[in-house]
Structure 1
Amino acid sequence: MNKPTLSDLRAFMAVAEHRSFRRAADLLGITRSTLSHAVRGLEDSVGARLLHRTTRSVSLTEAGERLLGRLDPLMSDLDAALEEVAGEQGHTTGTLRINGGENAIRLLLQTVVPEFLARYPGVELDLVADGRLVDIVQQGFDAGVRLGEAVPKDMVAVRLGPDMRFLAVASPEYLAAHPAPKTPDALMQHQCIRQRLPSGKRYRWEFLKRRQEVAIDVPGALTLDNNQLIVEAAMNGLGIAYVPEPYARAALRDGRLVPVLEDWCPTIAGLFLYFPRTRHMSTSLRAFIDMVRAVSG
């Protein structure tokens, strides 16, 4: 049997992990035809079919499952050994891919990223500001940043920012023409600036007071999908908005916006960096996590 190359084994593992030749090829930085050729070469070397391929899906054969199960710990140990040697020489290298919402990535850029890049010039940061709640493992990310309540339960989470809250806000001009609501139900008589989530659904405004929870699909003639634009629309008197407090802070400070239903707006867990619980963690991710912990106190 011709022994397969290390690159062929990594090619197979990438396809097996992502169940997609296209996604695996993108992550490896090679063409799909090159990737397909590598996997076929590996199958020829071991004398067994490792993947079931159709035009719409890729799945592992029984032989592929067995091989993947043996390769995972071996490759993890190999990567750990290589990174350990690099670490001993004072080099932390590689690409670190992190997914998060716009506000989360902005916070990273303001706090962690400048010092991290200065301290670890051999690491390339690939930050994706994506409002969708993606599966970071399936999409090939090393870590993600989300509000605490949105972090998957099987992930390890490290606090990045303080607790925060969503606030209902409106302009003084709007409130001069429409008396401020006293309870969440009163929003049904107001013009509200609605938010379209990345999933396509409209966000239901969630309130809490003395353990009484209320979720309302508010009325409104205007729907937007960006918190900054929602704040600007509220400042222009187009209705009541419900946004994370940091987006409205400057306008609240100078009086362009006024909070309403403030006693119904609860504090929630802030932003967290999260990552999968695995046997082996890259030195670049470990360094990034350590810096997040240092910045967050």
Structure 2
Amino acid sequence: MNSKPGLPELSALAAIVLHRSFRKAADDLGLSPSTLSHMMRTLERGMGVRLLNRTTRSVAPTEAGERLVARLRPLLSDIDAALAEVDDFRGLASGTLRINTSEIGARLLLGSVVPSFLQRYPQVSLDLVTEGKLVDIVAEGFDAGIRLGEAVPRDMVAVRFGGPTRFIAVASPAYLAGRPAPHTPDDLGDQACIRFRLPSGKPYRWEFEKHGQEIAIDVQGALTLDSMELMAEAAACGMGVAYISDKTAKPYLDQGSLVTVLDDWCPPIPGLFLYYPGHRLVPPALRAFIDVLKETKG
């Protein structure tokens, strides 16, 4: 290494790798793309190694750049959190709060927590990312994540919100009018099931429980979707039985376009949790968000 890089250059590199774009990274950092490009050329020249592969349309890290940024992310996040704690002395929460969540979690937050939070803390920008897949929130630069309790890593601090939830089997009255309703999970073999595809590409196995008996079924059906909202719509149109969250199903159940089946096989589960790493400084914006979450949770 010919010269030691500074924090601004390393932060800029991390932003470029995160956004895969000079323009988006420049907007995030409040710089011009040309200034950012010059910083990267200076950084690469000083370190004596290429960190980014550039084309006219895209930018991607080299292997050296990817490894460097992977090590930098948690360090830069800790620095940001340490600097942000100074705001505590002014009683302010500010900056950008990035949360990775499921679509269901985002909808629940938008219905109660987010409006109160943004009104109370106007200096904070909230970035909700609903990728669907589970990610390493530390490695991907998120302040927190939101998932069902069973999916929260054991080394994280978790805050439950939204109350218990259920995954339920539903179908339209029109669909059930033409065939016997299922009474046990085994009866699903005779039904047209609307399957759910996980972000990994694998089909989701429907999980049922009654009196301590647990059953997981890889149902069969001609239709597979990757959105519970679409599954609810398809079921309401009479296309089969869907297995979705009760929060997704609620408006359809309320208007009568869907009814539940196998209800006694679908017990409540703990529900959603916001989680974050416990071994790192908690940014003031995240602490403020958790406070609002606790005030409004079910």
For the criterion TM > 0.5, the same-fold answer is yes
Give the direction of change, closer, same or farther, for the CA distance of 1:209–1:131 in structure 2 (3 Å limit).
same
Give the direction of change, closer, same or farther, for the CA distance of 1:149–1:92 in structure 2 (3 Å limit): same
The one-letter code of the counterpart of 1:115 is S
Change (3 A) 1:96 1:180: same
Change (3 A) 1:51 1:263: farther
Change (3 A) 1:223 1:93: same
* Cα distance in 1 between the residues matched to 2:123 and 2:6: 26
Q: Return the alpha-carbon distance in structure 2 between the equivalents of residues 229 and 101 of structure 1.
A: 15
| Structure 2: distance between partners of 1:56 and 1:283 | 31
**Are residue 223 (structure 1) and residue 224 (structure 2) matched?**
yes
Name the CA shift for 1:231/1:6 in 2 (closer, same or farther; >3 Å). closer
Residue equivalent to 1:277: 278
Q: Mapping of 1:5-20 within 5 angstroms?
A: 5-11=6-12, 14=14, 20=17
- Pairwise CA distance, 1:278: 3.4
2:159 is equivalent to residue 154 of structure 1: no
User: Does the 8 Å contact 2:81/2:282 carry over to 1?
Assistant: no
Q: Which is further off, 226-235 or 129-138?
A: 129-138
Secondary structure of residue in 1 paired with 2:287: helix
**Match for residue 58 of structure 1?**
63
Aligned partners of 2:12 and 2:25 also within 8 Å = no
Cα RMSD after superposing both structures: 3.5
In the TM superposition, residue 49 of structure 1 has moved relative to its aligned partner by 6.0
| Structure 1 position 56, deviation (Å) | 7.0
Note the C-alpha offset of 1:90.
3.1
Q: Is the 8 A contact 1:49 1:61 kept in 2?
A: no
Q: Secondary structure at the match of 2:166?
A: strand
Q: Percent identity?
A: 52
Q: Distance in 1 between matches of 2:162 and 2:101?
A: 13
1:112 corresponds to 2:107: no
C-alpha distance 170-194 of structure 1, shift in aligned 2 (>3 A): same
| Residue pair 1:22, 1:32 contacting (<8 A) in 2 also | no
How many Å separate the matches in 2 of 1:199 and 1:61?
Answer: 23
Q: Which residues of structure 1 form unaligned runs of 5+?
A: none
Q: Distance in 2 between matches of 1:84 and 1:206?
A: 44
CA contact (8 A) 2:100 2:144 kept: yes
Question: Paired residue for 1:293?
Answer: 294
Residues 110-138 of structure 1: CA deviation (Å, up to 9, x unaligned): 11111111111111111122222222222
Native 8 Å contact 1:97 1:143 kept in 2: yes
Q: Contact (CA 8 Å) 2:51, 2:61: kept in 1 or not?
A: no
Q: Is the 8 A contact 1:234 1:257 kept in 2?
A: yes
Match of 1:123 in 2: 124
TM-score by length of 1: 0.80
Aligned partners of 2:96 and 2:124 also within 8 Å:
yes
1:165 aligns to what?
166
Written as runs of structure 1 = structure 2, the 5 A alignment for 1:197-208 is: 197-208=198-209
Distance of aligned partners of 1:180 and 1:117 in 2 relative to their CA distance in 1, 3 Å threshold: same
The residue number in structure 1 matching 2:89 is 88
Q: Aligned partners of 2:281, 2:177: CA distance in 1, in Å?
A: 59
CA 11–183 in structure 1, closer or farther in 2 if over 3 Å, else same: same
Compared with structure 1, are the counterparts of its residues 167 and 263 closer, same or farther at alpha carbon in structure 2 (3 Å cutoff)?
Answer: same
State the aligned residue count: 286
CA shift in 2, pair 1:103/1:133, >3 Å: same
Q: 1:210, CA displacement in angstroms?
A: 2.2
Deviation, structure 1 residue 206:
1.1
Q: CA deviation at 1:199?
A: 2.0
Q: 1:218 to 1:4 in 2, by over 3 A?
A: closer
| CA distance in 2 between partners of 1:169 and 1:21 (Å) | 40
1:61 positional shift = 12
Rounded to whole Å, the distance in 2 between the matches of 1:208 and 1:116 is 37
Question: How many angstroms does 1:7 deviate by?
Answer: 0.9
